[in-house]
Amino acid sequence: MNILLWHVHGSWTTSFVHGKHRYLVPATPDRGPYGLGRARTYTWPNSAAEVSPEQLRDTDVDVVVLQRPEELELAQRWLGRRPGRDVPAIYVEHNTPKDGDVPHSRHPMADRDDLLVAHVTAFNELFWDTGATRTTVVDHGIVPPAVEYTGELDRLAVVINEPVRRWRVTGTDLLPRFAEIAPLDVFGLKVAGLADHLGLPADRLTSHDDVPQHRMHAELARRRAYLHLCRWTSLGLSLIEAMSIGMPVVALASTEAVMAVPPEAGALDTRVEELLEAAGRFVAEPQQARLAGQAARTAARERYGLARFLADWDRLLEEEVCG
């Protein structure tokens, strides 16, 4: 199939474009949010092809994969066809509701008969009210990182995008407490200057801003354990990637993380004191960290394998496009 989708979430799209289809990714001269084109810091296959808005009107498209409400109008304007009417459409919901009305949050695609909402976690489906719109869940899948856990550095790794702006959502406010246990390495977008913002000395928190995915994986693998402190998020793919590498996990027991992290894979709790104790234990006892990491790796690869993810999507696309 020819699938039109925007480059919105790098990790998820990286997995999605590893399927057997042709993926049309809009690219604009400014490489803005609606025309990023192919990824620069992720490895994508050649089947993911850039296409300009002008080219789309004369391009065969079998299905549109939407990820933001405004893409409905944009797709209609660029294609000259109405998503959901003239061409099948699937709306992928990556996020938990953030409208302040949980658990009554109405989804922007609620009460529509012209598309399907595909949630990336069952938690998302549970908390969004989509009314009469059909929904399904396709659990995440990841391209397996090409590195193995060593845990040689008695440091803790964190992956957060925009930790200052998102603050309590990503658990940024909790980082200083963990920096007392061990030095932190924070990877992600807009993490530069985070130590200063938190009032931490440079030797307690090091920022690694917008590191290419393969390099980030190699660096994560050297850290003793992985911190996942998000209070309210769908399910960070970096968490699954860290588990797949073989890292033990210290995570807040919130949203879908409680389904992704089995107890033997590390520590999962809503009590921060318990997580601090677990982080200290992993730092002090490398062998215990390694054993927990092995359990994390097994769990991640069994539940979030790329082959299962792509097979689920193939079945869904077949149903929606071919009926």
Note the pLDDT tens digit of each residue in 228-276.
999 999 998 999 999 999 999 999 999 999 999 999 999 999 999 999 9
Q: What is the pLDDT of residue 96?
A: 95
**Regions of the chain with pLDDT less than 70:** none
Task: Please name the residue ranges forming H helices in the chain.
Answer: 10-16, 53-56, 71-79, 122-127, 163-166, 175-179, 194-198, 213-220, 237-245, 257-260, 272-284, 286-303, 306-322
d(CA 72, CA 137): 21
- The answer to whether 188 and 160 are in contact (CB under 8 A) is yes
- The answer to whether 227 and 250 are in contact (CB under 8 A) is yes
Q: What is the pLDDT of residue 99?
A: 86
What pTM did the predictor assign? 0.92
Dihedral sign computed on CA atoms, order 158, 160, 162, 168: negative
Dihedral sign computed on CA atoms, order 77, 137, 39, 99: positive
d(CA 215, CA 53): 33
Q: What is the pLDDT of residue 303?
A: 96
- Determine the length of the chain: 323
Domain ranges (residues) in the chain: 2-141+306-322, 153-304
Residue with tokens 């696309």: 317
Task: Please name the residue ranges forming H helices in 20-119.
Answer: 53-56, 71-79
Q: What is the pLDDT of residue 90?
A: 98
210 contact partners, CB below 8 Å, separation of at least 6: 41, 188, 189
- The answer to whether 229 and 179 are in contact (CB under 8 A) is no
Q: What is the pLDDT of residue 88?
A: 97
Q: What is the pLDDT of residue 175?
A: 98
The CATH number of the domain covering residues in 153-304:
3.40.50.2000
Q: What is the pLDDT of residue 322?
A: 87
Using alpha carbons, select from 18, 38, 8 the residue that is nearest to residue 307.
Answer: 18
